[in-house]
Structures are given as structure tokens and as C-alpha cells.
Structure 1
Amino acid sequence: MTNHQTNQKTKRTNRLRAAVLGAVLFLTACGAEEAGDVTVIGATSGPYSDQLNEGVQEALEGTRTIRVVEFNDYIQPNRSLVEGSIDANVFQHGLFLANYTNETDEPLVGVFSVPTAPIGLYSKRHDALTDVSRGHRIALPNDPVNLARSLRQIASYGWATFDETVPPEAWTERDVVDNPHDLVFDTLDAATLPRTLDDVDFAFINGNYALASGLTFDEAVALEETPDDYLIQFTVAEEDASSDWVEDVRRAYASRAFYDYTRNETPGYVIPDWLKEAWHDYD
């Protein structure tokens, strides 16, 4: 077993502790809300809620309390932010957010990016990209942005080619122009993709859902080299973008405590450039 796999198994054990911590933070928050120093942040279950509960909260100790609300889909976090039941969310990359705001005209903004778990190609049947064969079934996220993201990976593997008149960030399975392996594309809710591995040849699984399901990066057939557009954003209402509490949280992410947490607990995550610069003296 690699050190990384050991870390991931430890993370799964620690989630129970995180749940207990979350309950404690909730009780603390109830007593502190009148003082205005409680920040409610939504995150998908797994790595991003863990970052907040285990890394950011420690770095904020003595200055601000956060209460983390966990979600299991990609719809409710933005809806809850718009409705005002949470102050911020951590689950979506820049292109997903841009697609959401274009469709809804809601004033949400990503104020900084956070260490990001890369999307990966996983399989229980195959060990290498060269194992692809005629008729193989490929499961992909069904939201437009992550679907296109996965299809771009397929193009980079040489498994298929796509209509050059369509921007790659807008590709769907209908834009395939050459499919030499006659691959079958199954588009499904991103949260369900880990459960498809018994039934398909390969599945593209977002990093948060892969880790939350017990998969490790070491088990991926291939991992994306994540560009800036796909880094997860700390997202708030536009009117809050310059708030003191946002700056408090940003400083917590940039702190030595969060640096140590990231290096020790989440190896393999993609680190944004701004954090690399902030952490320069810690390396």
C-alpha cells in the first residue's frame, strides 16, 4: 500500500470525526451568530468539506467560526447560496460557475481557487489507456461543463475526434465525428459515477466524488492535468466579494496551518498559482 493510499484510508476514517466536529461547530455557531463571526459554507461531501472542517477551521481558530453544510449534488449549493441559506460554497470550477451564471443571471463570483482534486478515468476492468477496445462503454458526467471536460480527455487519448467547428468546452457526445472503437457513451449524474464501475469499462469521475467513494488517485487509469479553468472556486454572492469575512477565509487557505494540512492529508491535489506563491516560504 502506498503512502497516498494510506492517507486516503485515514481520510475515510476521519470523516466520522469530521461529522462530530461539524456538530460541535453547529452548537458553537448557534451561540456566536449574534456576534456576526459565523460563516456558513456549503461544500460537496468529501475533500472540499474535509478541507474546510479539518484545515481551514484550524487556521481560523480564534478569529472566526465556520459551519459546513454538506451537499451531495451540483445543484443545491448554488441554489442555497442564491437563497441566502449559506454564505459561500466550495464545489464548482470556474467554467461550471460561468455556465451557471450565464444560464441564471445570478450574481455569484469565484473569489479565489482552492486545492483541487483532479477528474480521473477509473476502471475495475482495465489498467491502461491502451486497453480500450471496440464497443467499450464509457460513463461520463451529464452536466454540460464536466461532460465536455471528459470528452476533451477522450480526444487527448486519441479515442475519438470531435467537430472542430464546435468549441471544445461545449462538446457533447453528439459532436463525435470519428469513433474508431465504436465507444458507447453513457452520461449520468456525476455523484453516481463511482457506482457504475461494475457495469462499464471506464468512468470519468470528478475528484471529490472519487475520493468520497473510497477511490484513490493511485487507482486512476489516467488523471487530468487540470488547467486553471477547472480549479475549484470559493464562490460567494457578488456583493460579498470584498467582505472582511471572505478575506479572513482567504488568509486561512494561505496560512501555514492549511499548507501543512494540504501537504500531509491531500497529496496529489492541484495547487492554484496564488497559493503556490503564498506558500513559497513554507516549502
Structure 2
Amino acid sequence: MSDATPPIPSLPEKPKSKTGLIVGIGIAVVAVIVAAVLVVVNLASPGSSQAAKTTTVKIGTTEQAAPYWAVLKKAAAKDGIDIQVVGFSDYTQANPALKDGQIDLNLFQHLQFLAQYDVADNATLVPIASTLVVPLPLYSDKYKAVSDIPKGAKIAIPNDPTNQARALLVLQEAKLITLKDGGSTLATPADIDASASKVSVIPVDAAQTAPALASAAGAIINNNFALTAGIDPTSALFQDDPKSAAAEPYINAFVARDADKDNKTYLKVAELYHTKAVQDAVLAESKNTAVLVERPQADLEKILDGLKKTVKAAN
């Protein structure tokens, strides 16, 4: 008799249930579907880095330090527009830069200035939206009223053709000079009737009109240069009327190349300029001297065309 313990017979292996496998596969499929949905949602979301496409718009100006630019940039950023402000030290630089494609828009000039440039440089820059009209004032550090300015005194005026002509018209309206045949938007110092005028003029670069106050009896100074120099606009001795019909040539505008005049992004920037937050900042910057203007693009082009015809005829 053997003392070995007989082996215990092994039980047959229990069949595996398929239920767990099916559940596991189901969970995996659901996870894949959820992940795919999340990816689609993220791609479609406006806040997604993949969905948000930013368009850069370079705008040239001579008043790059003006606070309203920050307000306009913030508003544009919400619409996916990155405004880059490109500063220029004087009026002669921003139009050539736009024509050559260095910038996309500019905002510094009125329609008369644009007409002069287009004709002189055989360019086709066009206004796409109006902004404002700013009066052109006469300032003095030496006299408190126009009537105090003595005969024979010298007044500094901008020497660029359009602002120079407007300055001469302002001095005529102030009864300090008389222009032959009444003058025009193309007047030059040669049109002054010296024998019938109280003062003479000193044409200087527009950026130098404010410094010229130190040596001249007075100066016609564009608003942006006056503000930069810390001059209080309310201290002006005289200025033209920005609401008059004669002010149309001096409507300031966003300007683009002709091929871009219907560019939706550029037009959106111009539209945002006329929102309340931006307009409030613009008026505050001008110390409420600016007069806001909203004229249709077609009107601006019509005014520009008329001014260009006048310039060409004079040439």
C-alpha cells in the first residue's frame, strides 16, 4: 500500500464571460468619441488659439503718442485686429510710406493735403472714412488778442502747401492780411497783398511752428503740434470754423491705397474709430476742440476728386 497521497482531480476551467470585454470596449469607444468632440469644439471655439486668426494693420500717423490709440487698439483686438501704430515726425513721410506699402493705412491728413499729394506724386491714395475736422488756430506768447498784434509783426505758418494756404485764409479771416482775389485753398505767400496787410508771414516746417512762438509775434499751429508742445487750445487768439461749408477740404480721414479701399478689415478699423469709447478719447485728446465727422466714403471721394481737379488746373 502506498503512502503517497493520491492527486486531487482538477476541475474543468470556467468559461470566461464576454460581458466585461464588451463593457470595456464600449467605454473605450465612448472615450474616443468624447475626445474627438472636445477637439472639434476647441477648434471651433473663438477663444481657441487655432481658431483665432489675428490680422495686423499698420497705421501711420504724426500723433502716435495720442491716448486714443490705446483705446482703438483694445477695441480692434476684440475683433482679431492687431493695430500697429507707426509714427512719423512730419507730414511729408506718411503718404509715401503708404504708397510704397510700408504701412496699410494712415491717419494724419485732411482731404486738401491728400489731393495735393496725389497730384504731385501721381498717386492714387483714397479716403475710406472721415474722422474729424480740427480748427486751425493762431497762438501768441506775446499778445492776448488779435487786435494787439502790431503792424509789421511776423507770424509763423506751416510751409507745406495745403496747411500754408489754410493758414493764410485764417490770417485773412482774422483781418491780419489780405489775399489777392480773396485767396483760395491753393494760396501762397506770393498771394498776399502786402500794402493792404498788417503782418507778414514766416513759412516754417509745421513741426517748428510751436517753437517759433519764441521769436515771432504769433504762429498758426496745427492741433497735434500744439498739444505736443503743451499749448492750451483755449488760449488761441483766433481760429477758423470747422463746421462751415468751407471746412470740407479739411475733413481728416483714414487713407488707403486705391486697391484697398474696400478692404473689410480696414473699414472695420475705421468703424471702430467711431465707437463711443474711442470718440470720447479723441475729444479728450483734442481738449474738445475737434468736431467729429461721419461722411459716406462716396462723399469723401467726390470731395477729393473736386480738389484734385482744382489742383491740376492750377498747375
State the TM-score, normalized to the length of structure 1. 0.79
Say whether residues 1:192 and 2:208 are aligned partners: yes
> Number of aligned pairs?
241
Counterpart for residue 242 of structure 1: 262
Structure 1 residues 86, 167: CA separation in 2 closer, same or farther (over 3 Å shift)?
same
On the 8 A contact 1:136/1:181 being kept in 2, the answer is no
For structure 1, the 5+ residue unaligned runs are 1-30, 276-283
Counterpart for residue 270 of structure 1: 291
CA distance in 1, matches of 2:163, 2:128: 21
Counterpart for residue 40 of structure 1: 58
Say whether residues 1:126 and 2:126 are aligned partners: no
Counterpart for residue 240 of structure 2: 224
Displacement after TM superposition at 1:160 (Å): 2.0
Say whether residues 1:143 and 2:160 are aligned partners: yes
Counterpart for residue 14 of structure 1: none
Counterpart for residue 90 of structure 1: 107
On the 8 A contact 2:98/2:256 being kept in 1, the answer is yes
Displacement after TM superposition at 1:60 (Å): 1.6
For structure 2, the 5+ residue unaligned runs are 1-48, 297-315
Give % identity: 28
Counterpart for residue 172 of structure 2: 155
Displacement after TM superposition at 1:179 (Å): 3.9
Displacement after TM superposition at 1:201 (Å): 0.3
Question: Amino acid of the residue matched to residue 243 of structure 1?
Answer: N
Q: Deviations over 1:116-155 (max 9, x none)?
A: 4322101000111111211111101111111110111111
Match of 1:256 among 273, 276, 294: 276
Counterpart for residue 212 of structure 1: 228
Q: Which of 1 and 2 has greater Rg?
A: 2
Counterpart for residue 73 of structure 2: 57
Counterpart for residue 89 of structure 2: 72
CA distance in 1, matches of 2:210, 2:284: 25
Displacement after TM superposition at 1:61 (Å): 2.9
Say which is worse superposed, 71-80 or 38-47, in terms of deviation: 38-47
On the 8 A contact 2:133/2:291 being kept in 1, the answer is yes
CA distance in 1, matches of 2:264, 2:217: 48
CA distance in 2, matches of 1:46, 1:192: 18
State the TM-score, normalized to the length of structure 2. 0.71
Say whether residues 1:176 and 2:176 are aligned partners: no
Displacement after TM superposition at 1:111 (Å): 1.2
Structure 1 residues 261, 168: CA separation in 2 closer, same or farther (over 3 Å shift)?
same
Displacement after TM superposition at 1:36 (Å): 5.6
Question: Amino acid of the residue matched to residue 248 of structure 1?
Answer: K
Q: CA RMSD in A?
A: 2.3
Whose strand fraction is larger, Structure 1's or Structure 2's?
1
CA distance in 2, matches of 1:134, 1:233: 38
